[in-house]
Amino acid sequence: MTRPRRRLCLPRPPGFAPAEAAPEPAPSGYSCLERSIQSGNFHAMQTKAAGSSSPRSRPHAAAGGLDSLLDSAASQFARFGVNGVSMRDIGREVGYTAPLICYHFANKDNLYLEAFTHKMEQTIEQIADRVAASPQPRRRFHTLVEALYDLFMADRDLLALAQRDIIDASSGQRPLLSRRQYLHFSAMIRRLASEFAGAEVSPQTVFAVAALVFGYCQLSSVRMALTGGGVSDVRADRDALVQQAVSLVQSQAGIAPRAS
């Protein structure tokens, strides 16, 4: 007896639309994959991409869905760079096949952009939440500097991605991917520093604060790796960073330093 052929419900390829409907705009790789996970078609896509009907050989989607894929990609791109990792390496860590990832992301550069943006947007949300909880202008500026340092030091993948992005952009390999996030952080520094100073701070002050934060994070991570410093060293570095950033804003605004 011939078994009926099982039809797989696949998401529409980008640009496809029924004859009776107006064409839909082609979704990005991120939104197309997210829709597939939410609609339940993701496992069917994996089974087809795996090229086998054996249940034992079918990879299972990780519980985190799209976030787990982008987190895995960001982590491996941070450690090995874009050219040091393959789609198969990224998918293996979370149980996705390389053909499935390639179906939704045109190429590795596209996946890198989505993973990088995902990581940076998570950071922006966490910093905004911490700043919003601070009542006074001075305390909000302190919290911003502390949050930037804490997040970069706690998540070495984030720091490594930012470093690789700057190196790749300065060497002409690709445009600066973090341009939008950098502008967002700069605007946040300028707004909170101006509230603290009681006057609009200059772009040079904003740049100096951003350079202090990034420089402290990089050199602190190097010192931790060389000396094996503990929590007290991290806190001491963070306190020194906050003092330097506050002094910069005070000197530019003509504010007398507060006694400790």
- Examine the pLDDT at 174 and tell me if it is beyond 90: no
- On the 0-12 / 13-18 / 19+ scale of CB atoms within 10 A, 177 is buried
Q: Delimit the domains of the chain by residue range.
A: 27-52+59-106, 117-255
For residues 90-116, give the mean pLDDT: 87
**Tokens (6 digits) for 113:** 């952009």
pLDDT for residue 234: 86
Decide: 177 and 167 in contact? Cβ < 8 Å.
no
Listed ranges 52-56, 62-66, 144-148, 171-175; the one with the highest mean pLDDT: 144-148
Q: Which long-range CB contacts under 8 A does 91-99 form with residues at least 24 apart?
A: 91/59, 94/62, 94/64, 94/68, 94/69, 95/59, 95/60, 95/61, 95/62, 96/46, 96/59, 96/61, 96/62, 96/69, 97/46, 97/49, 97/50, 97/59, 99/49
**Tokens (6 digits) for 250:** 């005070």
**Tokens (6 digits) for 11:** 């998401």
The backbone region for 15, taken as left when phi is positive above 0, alpha when psi lies in -120 to 50, beta otherwise, is left
3-class DSSP assignment, residue 171: coil
Which is higher by pLDDT, 4 or 113?
113
CA distance 198 to 255: 9
Kind and range of the H or E run holding 144: helix 137-154
* 259: confidence class by pLDDT, cuts 50, 70, 90: low
- Examine the pLDDT at 20 and tell me if it is beyond 80: no
The mean pLDDT of the chain is: 77
% of the chain with per-residue pLDDT over 90: 30
pLDDT for 28-38, tens place per residue? 444 444 444 44
- Examine the pLDDT at 68 and tell me if it is beyond 80: yes
The backbone region for 18, taken as left when phi is positive above 0, alpha when psi lies in -120 to 50, beta otherwise, is beta
Radius of gyration, CA atoms only, the chain: 23
Decide: 58 and 44 in contact? Cβ < 8 Å.
no
Q: CATH says 117-255 is which class?
A: mainly alpha
Closest CA to 203 of 218, 215, 213, 193: 193
Which is higher by pLDDT, 178 or 14?
178
pLDDT for residue 37: 41
CA dist 209 to 36, 150, 193, 197, 232, Å?
43, 15, 9, 14, 23
For residues 239-247, give the mean pLDDT: 94
For residues 110-128, give the mean pLDDT: 89
pLDDT for residue 225: 84
For residues 176-204, give the mean pLDDT: 91
- Examine the pLDDT at 24 and tell me if it is beyond 60: no
* 257: confidence class by pLDDT, cuts 50, 70, 90: low
Decide: 86 and 164 in contact? Cβ < 8 Å.
no
Q: Whole-model pTM?
A: 0.67
